[in-house]
Structure 1
């Protein structure tokens, strides 16, 4: 099995990077949609329905599959011999960043359900602030992997 992972390493890494890019795009865009949703429409109007469709499609058709692919191909990289040394700090900081990114994804999904029920309690400003979370996590992850601090 490890021989197969080693042979497929460039393909696994390529797909992992593409999945991460897709996932990150959604993690940046969905809270921006929430900002406009909060600031530009009222619960039950036509614009609200439009935002509901956009948000659910982004979450289910792009972000969900991209997150799953990121995890699957990332775990394949973890199990490829010689790629991850768990004795080094960078592997743990990257793992923590990925767990944080996954938490954030689920937090956004919960906020989408709040909109669906007409129970959103956050403001556009709060969503703008939360939109910085994936940036901070991305910096942590990229520096962990590239610099290996």
Structure 2
């Protein structure tokens, strides 16, 4: 199980690296002047590749996490409430990931209406989710 746990941590960290940077690309895309087509296309290409790569990293992270969950069991015994909270946050991270895909499609279709300031705040959501998950796993507060 230690190998599974190590692989889970590696893929989760890699997935989050993509989620940390992708909204930063959205900030840059929101700041691109309307007449700067080359810059916009370059940023869109980078964002599209990063989103695809992050999706590829998300899948094994979830599979290894599911393997750990099935091995340790949720709700078996007492004191596993931290794991329930972590799983709820993981669902939130998956939703955030898919929201990034929707945002990327809006940029591709020129239908984004959000400002760079909004994306700066949106970018911080991953940091909060990551910190909360790490605290739940390491500290196991409940």
- TM-score between both structures, scaled by the size of structure 1: 0.87
Change in 2 beyond 3 A, CA 1:102/1:130: same
Q: What are structure 1's unaligned runs of at least 5 residues?
A: 1-8
Aligned to 2:15: 23
- TM-score between both structures, scaled by the size of structure 2: 0.91
Say if 1:84 and 1:91, in contact at 8 Å, map to a contact too.
no
Select the residue among 124, 135, 146 that pairs with 2:127: 135
Aligned to 2:83: 91
RMSD across aligned C-alpha pairs, in angstroms? 1.4
Change in 2 beyond 3 A, CA 1:59/1:13: same
Deviations 1:28-85 (A, max 9, x none): 100000101111342771111111110110011x2001111110000011111xx344
Say if 1:32 and 1:128, in contact at 8 Å, map to a contact too.
yes
Q: Kindly indicate whether residue 110 of structure 2 is the aligned counterpart of residue 113 of structure 1.
A: no
The alignment of Structure 1 onto Structure 2 pairs a total of residues equal to 138
Q: Kindly indicate whether residue 66 of structure 2 is the aligned counterpart of residue 75 of structure 1.
A: yes
* Superposed displacement of residue 138, structure 1: 1.1
